[in-house]
């Protein structure tokens, strides 16, 4: 059986790398410098970066361009920052025009158009992975990279939420990466700590709509809701987009996922069951959110004012009121039981189990008696 010729071995290697091959890889396949020059002169190959060649006819893709930038930056180079965010599939991070690459300090290659190269002293903490055939930084490091180039809080929250939603990194892994980088000193540590503390131990929003909705409420000084709050109501299990369990307020955000025929039929059933179980349901479309944000805030604020803060349902589905003297005192009929998170107040509206806080109005009456 005949052995593959050097050019065939190089082409096979390129087939696994989006049609690209490096000069060093050509040498390992047995191709001489003159053979590579002849392939380029004949138009079979083209030089796309210093030391990187593309097989003519291979698909021209963004992933191929990203890999070419990484290969040209050196054997240890990694896709990073916004480029890595897209490679990891984070929603809201489309393919960037400029490819961002990270290398060890003092190993920066020559400048190339369309490529930004970052140097790092903490290369050993990058946790290299391969995504879509492109060497890239790990997801825990990605958040620190974005914070280090001055991305605003909303971008950092979006990245963190997506990393957690896709289960790319656990909370211990995220905190470990943060602590190890903070010990060495790094730009963006304060911003990174802020978003980690804001989301730590909580269910993150599943959609960009929910993230922006939470940002609007925060900007208005309203307490942060619980996202994707799981409940049982009317014999069904549901996940509320944003909820104040202590006040029995469910906020439903009708984004793109609600534009289907199945959602058109299921949403009213879900809303009716929640209402019959004692929830106040507020619904908002994307158009209402962007055209009348002040009205949205006013409605949520009024709902919180009207509803007596109570603890979420107990394990048995029985609700205890914080303030029995409130005119709405009493347990809502068919109280829903959360599928998870029972007994924990959200947004500072209730203490665990709905018990009155020390020094509250209930406590004052007890002292007078």
| Residues above pLDDT 70, as percent of the chain | 80
Q: Other C-beta atoms within 10 Å of 306: how many? A: 11
pTM for the full model?
0.70
Question: How high is the pLDDT of residue 202?
Answer: 83
The CA–CA distances, whole Å, from 222 to 214, 248, 313 equal: 9, 16, 22
Question: How high is the pLDDT of residue 185?
Answer: 72
Distance CA 4, CA 8 (A): 6
Distance CA 142, CA 156 (A): 10
Name the fold adopted by 6-60: Arc Repressor Mutant, subunit A (1.10.10)
pLDDT at residue 47 tops 90: yes
Going by pLDDT thresholds of 50, 70 and 90, the confidence category of residue 316 is: very low
Distance CA 355, CA 19 (A): 65
Distance CA 271, CA 340 (A): 20
Distance CA 211, CA 158 (A): 7
Measure the CA angle with vertex 192, ends 181 and 67; round to 5°: 70
Question: How high is the pLDDT of residue 112?
Answer: 87
Distance CA 266, CA 168 (A): 31
Query: Quick one: average pLDDT of 125-136?
Result: 94
The tokens of 305 are what? 């004012």
The tokens of 178 are what? 């943060």
Asked if 221 and 214 touch (Cβ cutoff 8 Å), the reply is: no
pLDDT at residue 106 tops 90: no
Q: Which of 127-131, 219-223, 230-234 has the lowest mean pLDDT?
A: 230-234
Mean pLDDT of the chain: 82
pLDDT at residue 55 tops 60: yes
Within the chain, all domains assigned CATH 1.10.10 are found at 6-60
Cross-strand partners of 119: 103
pLDDT at residue 151 tops 80: yes
Asked if 79 and 135 touch (Cβ cutoff 8 Å), the reply is: yes
The tokens of 104 are what? 């060890």
pLDDT at residue 169 tops 90: yes
pLDDT at residue 311 tops 60: no
Question: How high is the pLDDT of residue 148?
Answer: 92
pLDDT at residue 13 tops 50: yes
Can you give the C-alpha Rg of the chain in angstroms? 28
Q: Which position has the token pair 């995220």?
A: 174
Distance CA 325, CA 322 (A): 9
Q: Which of 129-143, 145-159, 342-356 has the lowest mean pLDDT?
A: 342-356
* DSSP, res 317: S
- The larger pLDDT score, comparing residue 204 to residue 90, is at 90
pLDDT 10s digits, 245-287:
999 999 999 876 555 666 667 788 889 999 999 999 999 999 9
Spatial CB neighbours of 214, under 8 Å, sequence gap ≥ 6 = 205, 224, 225, 227, 242
State the CATH architecture for 208-361. 3-Layer(aba) Sandwich (3.40)
| Residues above pLDDT 90, as percent of the chain | 58
Within the chain, all domains assigned CATH 3.40.960.10 are found at 208-361
Distance CA 227, CA 125 (A): 32
The CA–CA distances, whole Å, from 162 to 24, 85, 90, 156, 209 equal: 37, 10, 6, 10, 13
Distance CA 247, CA 203 (A): 19
Q: Identify the top-confidence range among 112-116, 304-308, 310-314, 344-348.
A: 112-116
* DSSP, res 212: H
pLDDT 10s digits, 17-29:
999 999 999 999 9
The tokens of 46 are what? 């083209």
pLDDT at residue 44 tops 50: yes
Query: Quick one: average pLDDT of 187-199?
Result: 92
Asked if 35 and 6 touch (Cβ cutoff 8 Å), the reply is: yes
Query: Quick one: average pLDDT of 40-69?
Result: 93
Q: What is the H or E stretch that residue 266 is in? A: helix 261-276
Q: Which position has the token pair 């805030």?
A: 297
Strand order in the sheet with 99-104: 115-120, 99-104, 78-79, 134-136, 129-131
Distance CA 17, CA 53 (A): 11
Distance CA 275, CA 248 (A): 10
């Amino acid at each position: 059986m005949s052995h593959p010729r050097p050019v065939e071995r190089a082409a096979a290697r390129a087939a696994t790398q989006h049609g690209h091959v490096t000069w060093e890889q050509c040498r390992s396949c047995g191709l001489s410098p003159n053979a590579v020059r002849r392939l380029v002169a004949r138009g079979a190959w083209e030089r796309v970066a210093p030391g990187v060649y593309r097989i003519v006819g291979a698909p021209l893709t963004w992933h191929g361009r990203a890999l070419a930038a990484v290969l040209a930056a050196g054997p240890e180079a990694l896709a990073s920052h916004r480029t890595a965010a897209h490679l990891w599939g984070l929603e809201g991070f489309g393919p960037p025009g400029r490819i961002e690459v990270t290398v060890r300090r003092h190993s920066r290659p020559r400048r190339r158009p369309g490529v930004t190269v970052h140097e790092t002293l903490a290369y050993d903490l990058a946790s290299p992975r391969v995504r879509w055939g492109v060497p890239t930084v790990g997801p825990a490091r990605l958040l620190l990279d974005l914070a280090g180039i001055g991305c605003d809080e909303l971008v950092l929250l979006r990245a963190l939420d997506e990393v957690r939603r896709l289960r790319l990194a656990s909370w211990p892994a995220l905190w470990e990466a943060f602590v190890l980088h903070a010990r060495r000193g790094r730009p963006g540590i304060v911003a990174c700590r802020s978003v980690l503390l804001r989301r730590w131990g909580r269910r993150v929003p599943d959609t960009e709509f929910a993230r922006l909705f939470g940002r609007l409420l925060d900007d208005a000084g309203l307490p942060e809701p619980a996202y994707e709050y799981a409940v049982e109501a009317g014999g069904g299990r549901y996940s509320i987009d944003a909820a104040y369990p202590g006040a029995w307020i469910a906020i439903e955000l009708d984004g793109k996922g609600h534009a289907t025929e199945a959602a058109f039929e299921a949403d009213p059933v879900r809303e009716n069951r929640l209402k019959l179980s004692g929830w106040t349901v507020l619904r908002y479309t994307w158009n209402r959110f962007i055209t009348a944000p002040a009205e949205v805030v006013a409605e949520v604020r009024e709902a919180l004012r009207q509803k007596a803060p109570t603890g979420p349902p107990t394990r048995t589905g029985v609700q205890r009121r914080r303030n029995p003297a409130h005119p709405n005192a009493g347990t809502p009929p068919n109280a829903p039981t959360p599928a998870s998170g029972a007994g924990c107040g959200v947004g500072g509206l209730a203490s665990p189990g709905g018990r009155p806080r020390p020094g509250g109005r209930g406590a004052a009456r007890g002292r007078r008696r």
